[in-house]
Chain A
Amino acid sequence: MIEFQNVTKIYESGDKKVTAVNNINFHVEPGEICVFLGPSGCGKTTLLRMVNRLIPITSGSIEVEGKNINSMDIIKLRRSIGYVIQHNGLFPNMTIEDNINVVPKMLGWDQNRMKNRYSELMEMMGLDPGQFQKRYPYELSGGQQQRIGIARALAADPPVMLMDEPFGALDPVIRDRLQNEFLRIQKEMKKTILFVSHDIDEAIKLGDKVAIFDTGKLMQIGTPDEILSNPKNDFVRDFVGDDRALKRLTLLKVRDLMVLSDRFRKSRLNSEWHGQVISVNENLKTALSQLLSAPNGEICVVDDHNKKLGVLCVSDFNLFTEVHPKDISIVR
């Protein structure tokens, strides 16, 4: 659990004062990914770096796992929080293995434990431990380097992770792949993660919660669905974009739409279905896209065992706005 209470940061350079973070209040539950989202210069990085005290707080307080960070030993605090930055910050003078073992070494782990942890992390990241062990960061691709950056932050198994645009410098294809891997890993790890991004799509995809900031102020915090279906003000509405309804489609699955009605006309299912087929677990964006290209405007929904469940057509999407996160979680 991370709790921000009246957190304010004022930078003073010369006689100029910049309020980078303005009286922020919210909390992040254990095991949650909270994405900080907002335009450049809105204070995301500043807020993030206050958590491991790379930037001192001007006023207010931050609590990590129930303890005020200012009352903790700064070095201990930092060693208990994983930290990942955009250009990975790998140490060029150290091998991949040494990079990953930096924090365990400082914590005084024995050789065997470090070796095992290294192999474990590399496998988790989908990289061959032996192949990379003695290599140096420059000998890796950008995507590989970023994976090592994440592995390094995870090394000592910290309960909390801070990530500042960790996928920002990667090309879209690699970024997408790493995001998926990251979600897969997080499913097992259940870390409490603060994640800075300025990409709305990334925030929707990764965040359990999304916090939107503008010039140091918290505009809205909520689940991606809440943000997309109920933007609190004009700033949030503008920021998430005119296509927010379309973006919301990616959050929902075909099954979510199905529970709402019986209008998935079983009756229209004849035993010989010749048209297109879609899995009930596919997201609604894909479903809509398939529908738009289906010759007769209908597709057949099937479950994991390829059993036909019903027929979906474009008009079913009328129900879309009525689908709410709560309904979904009940059904799930």
Chain B
Amino acid sequence: MSGKKTEKIVKAGLYVVVISILGWAYFSGAFQFIIDNPKDLLYLTGQHLKLVGISAALAIATAIPLGILITRPKFKKLDWIVLNFANIGQTVPSLAILALVMSYFGLGWQTAIFALWFNSLLPILRNTVAGIENVNPQIIDAGKGMGMTSKQIFFKLELPNALYAIMAGIRTSVVINVGTGALAFLIGGGGLGDLIFTGISLYDTGIMLSGAVPVILLAVLLDVLLGKLEKIIVPRGLQRTLEAA
């Protein structure tokens, strides 16, 4: 089949591109900088991970409970407001959020965490709400009819069935956060953005790439890891149905 052939060609092309970029990065001295300054890289990567980790953890800890809260019947009326706010919030460019937060709170590590927290809050919140609200109402009806208490309905039906969407929200949010984390350098948060922006302003490809490449690897790696985690956490009965959707 010609489809298989094209696929092979495209795949091969892709490898060539990736390898040539790496090769070219090597010859342009990108890895020289890393080799010369392994401690810098390690330190900045650690800082980057801390930024991303803390802000993501805070975002998860706030967004999921908030999402659950506004899907409860008592607060159902609020969900319209919160979702609209989340929709608009997600349209605001992340650089604008970082810059605005910084213009009010000044440069610093806490400012960066706060801005990143806000930035990663919305995808999780939106997915939590959507995930819970999209649980097939017939399932809830069956559960009620079988005599489940509202607590049982939440923990045994709503939450497990929304888990796929919630995990997807976390994954999106964390991956975006790695990238936004590179901007955190601008507002005093440190991280791998340090090397990227320094490289750009010095016209030094080596320094720039020694920041950019780890950031890319970090994003891809976290994406893959969270994908694996998703497979473990999300009930198996849900994985097939949702893949098809």
Q: Do A and B interact directly, with beta carbons closer than 8 Å?
A: yes
Report which A residues bind B (CB closer than 8 A): 49, 52, 54, 75-81, 83, 85, 87-95, 102-103, 106, 136-139, 152-153, 162
In Å, the complex CA distance between A139 and B240 comes to 9
Chain B residues 136 to 159 lying within 8 A of chain A, measured CB to CB, are: 136, 138-139, 141-149, 152, 156-157
A92 near B147 with CB under 8 A, answer no
By a CB distance below 8 angstroms, the chain B residues around A94 are: 235, 237
Max chain B Cβ within 10 angstroms of own Cβ: one of A85, A89, A93, A137:
A93
A52 near B145 with CB under 8 A, answer yes
Chain B residues 2 to 47 lying within 8 A of chain A, measured CB to CB, are: none
Shortest C-beta distance, A106 to chain B (Å), equals: 7
A83 near B237 with CB under 8 A, answer no
Does B238 interact with chain A (Cβ within 8 Å)? yes
In Å, the complex CA distance between A80 and B146 comes to 8
Contacts A/B (CB < 8 Å), 18 sampled: A52-B145, A75-B148, A75-B149, A76-B147, A78-B144, A78-B145, A89-B136, A89-B141, A89-B142, A90-B139, A91-B143, A92-B235, A92-B237, A93-B235, A94-B237, A95-B237, A137-B237, A138-B237
Does B91 interact with chain A (Cβ within 8 Å)? no
Shortest C-beta distance, A184 to chain B (Å), equals: 24
Does B199 interact with chain A (Cβ within 8 Å)? no
B149 near A91 with CB under 8 A, answer no
Question: Which of the four size classes fits the interface of chain B?
Answer: 20 to 34
B144 near A92 with CB under 8 A, answer no
A78 near B237 with CB under 8 A, answer no
Does B180 interact with chain A (Cβ within 8 Å)? no
In Å, the complex CA distance between A77 and B160 comes to 26
Shortest C-beta distance, B232 to chain A (Å), equals: 14
Known contacts A76-B147, A89-B142, A93-B235; 4 further A-B pairs (Cβ under 8 A): A78-B146, A85-B138, A92-B238, A93-B237
Shortest C-beta distance, B73 to chain A (Å), equals: 15
In Å, the complex CA distance between A126 and B155 comes to 32
Chain B residues 152 to 176 lying within 8 A of chain A, measured CB to CB, are: 152, 156-157, 160-161, 163
Q: Given that A75-B147, A93-B235 are contacting pairs, would A54 and B161 also be in contact in the complex, using a CB cutoff of 8 Å? A: no
Does B201 interact with chain A (Cβ within 8 Å)? no
A92 near B139 with CB under 8 A, answer yes
Does B236 interact with chain A (Cβ within 8 Å)? yes
By a CB distance below 8 angstroms, the chain B residues around A95 are: 237
Main secondary structure of the interface of B (DSSP, over half): helix
- Report, nearest first, the 5 A-B pairs whose CB atoms are least far apart: A89-B142, A136-B237, A78-B147, A79-B147, A83-B145
By a CB distance below 8 angstroms, the chain B residues around A138 are: 237, 240-241
Shortest C-beta distance, B168 to chain A (Å), equals: 16
Shortest C-beta distance, B101 to chain A (Å), equals: 39
By a CB distance below 8 angstroms, the chain B residues around A136 are: 235-237, 240
A89 near B144 with CB under 8 A, answer no
Shortest C-beta distance, B151 to chain A (Å), equals: 11
Out of B139, B145, B147, B241, which one reaches A91, CB within 8 Å? B139
Out of B141, B152, B156, B241, which one reaches A92, CB within 8 Å? B241
A92 near B161 with CB under 8 A, answer yes
Shortest C-beta distance, A185 to chain B (Å), equals: 19
Q: Digitize B230-245: 1 where CB-to-A-CB distance is under 8 Å, 0 elsewhere.
A: 0000011110110000
A106 near B148 with CB under 8 A, answer yes
The closest CB in chain B to the CB of A83 belongs to: B145
In Å, the complex CA distance between A49 and B149 comes to 17
B139 near A89 with CB under 8 A, answer yes
A89 near B149 with CB under 8 A, answer no
The closest CB in chain A to the CB of B157 belongs to: A91
B161 near A93 with CB under 8 A, answer yes
In Å, the complex CA distance between A76 and B152 comes to 14
By a CB distance below 8 angstroms, the chain A residues around B149 are: 75
A85 near B237 with CB under 8 A, answer no
In Å, the complex CA distance between A128 and B160 comes to 27
By a CB distance below 8 angstroms, the chain B residues around A79 are: 146-147
By a CB distance below 8 angstroms, the chain B residues around A76 are: 147
Max chain A Cβ within 10 angstroms of own Cβ: one of B143, B144, B149, B163:
B144
The closest CB in chain A to the CB of B162 belongs to: A93
Max chain A Cβ within 10 angstroms of own Cβ: one of B141, B147, B157:
B147
The closest CB in chain B to the CB of A75 belongs to: B147
The closest CB in chain B to the CB of A103 belongs to: B146
Shortest C-beta distance, A311 to chain B (Å), equals: 54
By a CB distance below 8 angstroms, the chain B residues around A78 are: 144-147
Out of B141, B156, B238, which one reaches A85, CB within 8 Å? B141
Max chain B Cβ within 10 angstroms of own Cβ: one of A88, A89, A90, A94:
A89
